Amino acid sequence: MRALTLGAIGVVYGDIGTSVLYAVKEIFASGHVAFNHDNVLGVLSLLFWTLTVIISIKYVSLVLRADNNGEGGLVAMLALASRSVKDRPQLRQFLLVIGIFGTCLFYGDGVITPAISVLSAVEGLEVISHTFSVAVIPLTLLILFSLFAIQKRGTADIGRFFGPVTLTWFLAIAVLGVSQIARYPEVLQALSPHFALGFIYAYPTVTFLILGALVLCVTGGEALYADMGHFGKRPIRLAWFCVVMPALTLNYFGQGALLLANPEAVKNPFFMMAPSWALIPLVILATLATVIASQALITGAFSVTKQAIQLGYLPRLQVLHTNVKAAGQIFMPFVNWGLFVAIVLAVLLFRTSSNLAAAYGVAVTLDMLITTTLTFFVIRFAWRYPLWLCVAVTGAFFVIDLAFFASNLLKFLDGGWFPLVIGGIVFSLMLTWKDGRHLLNTKLRADWLELSSFLEAVFVMPPVRVEGTAVFLTAEKGAVPNALLHNLKHNKVLHKTNLFVSVRNHEVPWISQDKRVTVQALGHDCWQLVVNYGFKDDMDLPKALQMASDHGFALEAMSTSYFLSRDIIMPKVGAGMAAWREKLFAQMHLNASDAADFLKLPNNAVVQLGSKIEI
Q: 10 Å Cβ neighbour count for 3?
A: 11
* High-pLDDT (> 90) share of the chain, %: 35
Lowest mean pLDDT among 290-299, 315-324, 499-508: 315-324
533 phi and psi angles, rounded to 5 deg: -135, 145
Residue 550 has pLDDT above 80, yes or no: no
Residues forming beta bridges with residue 612, ordered by sequence position? 568
573-598 pLDDT, tens digit each = 766 788 888 889 988 988 888 888 88
Residues forming beta bridges with residue 450, ordered by sequence position? 479
515-540 mean pLDDT: 89
Full DSSP string of 250-269: HHHHHHHHHHHH-GGGGGSH
* High-pLDDT (> 70) share of the chain, %: 96
Residue 307 has pLDDT above 60, yes or no: yes
Give the separation between CA 597 and CA 588, rounded to whole angstroms: 17
Closest Cα to residue 138, out of 412, 348, 402, 359? 348
579 phi and psi angles, rounded to 5 deg: -55, -40
Count of all residues that appear for the chain in the document: 615
Lowest mean pLDDT among 56-60, 147-151, 248-252, 379-383: 147-151
Lowest mean pLDDT among 17-21, 399-403, 425-429: 17-21
84-92 mean pLDDT: 88
184-217 pLDDT, tens digit each = 999 999 999 999 999 999 999 999 999 988 998 9
Full DSSP string of 358-388: HHSSHHHHHHHHHHHHHHHHIIIIIS---HH
Residue 168 has pLDDT above 90, yes or no: yes
Residue type, 132: F
113-146 pLDDT, tens digit each = 888 888 888 888 887 777 778 888 999 999 999 8
347-396 pLDDT, tens digit each = 999 988 888 887 888 888 998 999 999 999 999 998 899 999 999 999 99
251-273 mean pLDDT: 91
Domains of the chain in sequence order: 2-434 (1.20.1740.10), 448-614 (3.40.50)
Residue 613 has pLDDT above 80, yes or no: no
More confident residue, 153 or 466: 466
CA-CA distances (angstroms) from residue 532 to 310, 321, 339, 517? 11, 20, 31, 6
Burial of 180 (0-12, 13-18, 19+ CB in 10 A): buried
171-183 pLDDT, tens digit each = 999 999 999 999 9
Residue 400 has pLDDT above 60, yes or no: yes
**The pLDDT of residue 26:** 87
158-169 mean pLDDT: 79
**The pLDDT of residue 574:** 66
Give the separation between CA 159 and CA 299, rounded to whole angstroms: 11
Q: pTM of this prediction?
A: 0.82
606 phi and psi angles, rounded to 5 deg: -105, 135
